[in-house]
Every structure is written in structure tokens, then in C-alpha cells.
A and B are shown apart, each in its own frame.
Chain A
């Protein structure tokens, strides 16, 4: 079946540091890939997505590229801020839809001033 593997964290960075959160997946065919973010005390929000190989999703300074050859969708940001502190979930779903989303374990990011 489908699965998503991401680093557990927590990841602690200083403000303005470079962020990478690794995500790899196992799935048949070409799933859609997502990063969701959960800020403290809030629900999950869709951060970015990519639906086909080599697509780059981007939002709020975050980027992730759909790499079919390495089955990866690593999340990056060039300069993190304290307000980016949250839990980040990598996820996938069957092509063409948002049904049956499979989530990774979630990576907690803490950015310190």
C-alpha cells in the first residue's frame, strides 16, 4: 500500500536558517503529493502540492519538487522565521483527487530568535 516517510524531528533552527525536511514515499503510479502545516492550536492547512513528476509546489517561501526517480518530495525554505514554527506533514493521494490522503508522521519545526 501507500506510505509516506518523513523525519520525526523535532527540528530546531535559528531564525533565517535554511530548512530542509525530507520526505519519501511509496506508491503505485503517479500520486499527488502534498505538504500540510499545523500551527499550534489549529487544524491542518494545505501548504503546497505537486501533481506530476518534476512539478514544483511553492507557497509562503516554501518549496518542494516532485522527484519520481528518488520518490521524494523534500520541503525547503531559504530563511525561516519564528512564525514558521509548526508541525509539517508530508502526504500523498491517488492521482487526480484528494480522497484517501496518506500522511507521514509529521515533523515538528521550532524556530528560535
Chain B
């Protein structure tokens, strides 16, 4: 089946650091990738949608300068949390799909902890 690899699985770093999270589709071409954030005891919240080769579309309330998304190829999207602070600590999950009529396939998530 379709596999999405997300890396790293866990990051602990100091406040002010920028952190990059990678999302790769291993056996299919991902025309669209999604980035979600999950707070404790909350549902997954869509942060942004990215299509290969174009700018990401951010959901209302998500700072695009804070959460930089790059979807440079059909198999890779990256999320960079710039100048991370403790309030950015969360669980980030990516997903990818090959066409709007196909289900999203999810990565295993990245636990980000900012000290």
C-alpha cells in the first residue's frame, strides 16, 4: 500500500531554533500534501495544503512566515518551524494524496518539543 515517511519522529530543541520536518511519499507521486497539528486531547487541525511546485495554502490563523512549507517535488514536502518557541511544541502530522479523488495517506507524525 501507499507509504508516507515522516522524519524525524521526535525533536527536542532550544527556543529560537528553526526545525525542519520532512514528509516523503515512498511509492507514489503526491500531487497534494497536507500538514496537520495535533494538540493534546484535541483533534487534528489542518495547517496548510501544498501542491507540488506552487505556494502552500494556509488555513485561517496559521502564520505562513512561522510555518514555512516547501513542496519542491512530487515525493517530498517540508515544514520548517522558524524560530520555534515553547508554544510551538506539538505533534505534527503530514499526509499525501495522488489526486483529489484518492484518500490521504498519513505519516507517523513528529513530536516537537521546544525547551
Contact = CB atoms under 8 A, between A and B. Distances in A.
Interface of A: 4, 8, 36, 41-46, 49, 89, 96-106
Contacts of A97: 100-101
Interface in B27-85: 32, 34, 36, 41-44, 46, 49
The 7 closest A-B pairs by CB, nearest first: A43-B106, A44-B106, A103-B44, A43-B108, A103-B43, A105-B43, A97-B100
A3 to B, nearest CB: 9
A98 B108 contact: no
Nearest to A5: B43
Contacts of A96: 101
Given A100-B46, A106-B43, 18 more contacts: A41-B108, A43-B4, A43-B106, A43-B109, A44-B93, A46-B104, A49-B103, A89-B43, A97-B100, A98-B97, A98-B103, A101-B46, A102-B46, A103-B36, A103-B43, A103-B44, A105-B41, A105-B43
Nearest to A34: B103
Contacts of B42: 105
A101 B43 contact: no
Contacts of B34: 101
Interface in B97-115: 97, 100-109
Contact of B100 (A89, A99, A102, A106): A99
B15 to A, nearest CB: 28
B6 interface: yes
Nearest to B59: A100
Contacts of A106: 43
